[in-house]
Structure 1
Amino acid sequence: MGSNDELKSEALLELMKQHLNTDAGKAIVEKIGLVYQINIAPQKIGFNEVIYTIDFKKGEVKKGAYEGGKADAIFSFKDEDFVKIALGKMNPQIAFMRGAMKIKGSLSAATKFTPDIFPKPSKM
């Protein structure tokens, strides 16, 4: 596998970007009001990570680390686990306990990171 293989997460985050511009997305932004940094590793947490920022203050998804100070919570995942969590196929609490999801920052902010914040893809 080449290192520039597209991460499955990237497609999902692209959907998320569009979703935040919809009425449903704007309601989520109002409800959450936090900034999450998502570190996605192709194979192993901590290696070759691609960093995204999901800003639920402005309703934006951007590639790269958060530039407006400190993210409320930083999550690290393997690509496939992030997709499972976002699609509701893996419970975030269980993922955390199994080490499939690592969290830095505010745990209370992290508890709002649930599959409900993601758009439901028609098919993937």
Structure 2
Amino acid sequence: MASQSQLKSAALLEQMKLHLATDAGKSLTKKLGLVYQFNIAPQKLGLDEEIYTVDLKKGEVIKGPYEGKPDCTFSFKDSDFFAVATGKMNPQMAFIRGAMKIKGSLSAAQKFTPDIFPKPSKL
């Protein structure tokens, strides 16, 4: 997955895939049970987006759109997604500034916090 991608976020999502296989990841899927779709653009929202699905029902990360209706879809620039996922940018501030667009369930969106991501080792 990450090998073809130019996105910094792709490496983070690859780590998420490994994280979901751990006990901590399994408890996350039990706790949340939501499906998030991420549309991540290299430079400008809406252009050349790569789509990833983080399925916290099945505990998997897939490159590509969800085959149904995700609970929530987020659109980010790569750098903004990376900043939110690593805790360097507050998700609410990202939304207010227009750095993050949200479609779908607002309650599902509010459960998307940097805590769901594993702490990056070296990215």
TM-score (norm 1): 0.94
- Answer yes or no: is 1:20 the counterpart of 2:20: yes
Q: Give the whole-Å Cα distance in 2 for the aligned partners of 1:36 and 1:122.
A: 23
Q: Tell me the SS of whatever aligns to 1:24.
A: helix
Aligned to 1:94: 93
Per the TM alignment, residue 22 of structure 1 is displaced from its structure 2 partner at its CA by 0.3
Aligned to 1:65: 65
Per the TM alignment, residue 123 of structure 1 is displaced from its structure 2 partner at its CA by 2.3
Q: Give the whole-Å Cα distance in 2 for the aligned partners of 1:65 and 1:99.
A: 22
Question: Which ranges in structure 1 are unaligned for 5 or more consecutive residues?
Answer: none
Q: Give the whole-Å Cα distance in 1 for the aligned partners of 2:6 and 2:46.
A: 18
Aligned to 1:10: 10
Q: Give the whole-Å Cα distance in 2 for the aligned partners of 1:86 and 1:24.
A: 17
Q: Tell me the SS of whatever aligns to 1:108.
A: helix
Q: Give the whole-Å Cα distance in 2 for the aligned partners of 1:15 and 1:97.
A: 28
Identity %: 73
Aligned residues, how many? 120
- 1:74-89 equivalences under 5 Å are 74-89=73-88
Question: Which ranges in structure 2 are unaligned for 5 or more consecutive residues?
Answer: none
Per the TM alignment, residue 122 of structure 1 is displaced from its structure 2 partner at its CA by 1.8
Per the TM alignment, residue 6 of structure 1 is displaced from its structure 2 partner at its CA by 1.3
Aligned to 2:43: 43
TM-score (norm 2): 0.95
Hey, which bits of structure 1, 4+ residues long, moved more than 6 A? none
- What RMSD over aligned residues (CA atoms) do the two structures have, in Å? 1.0
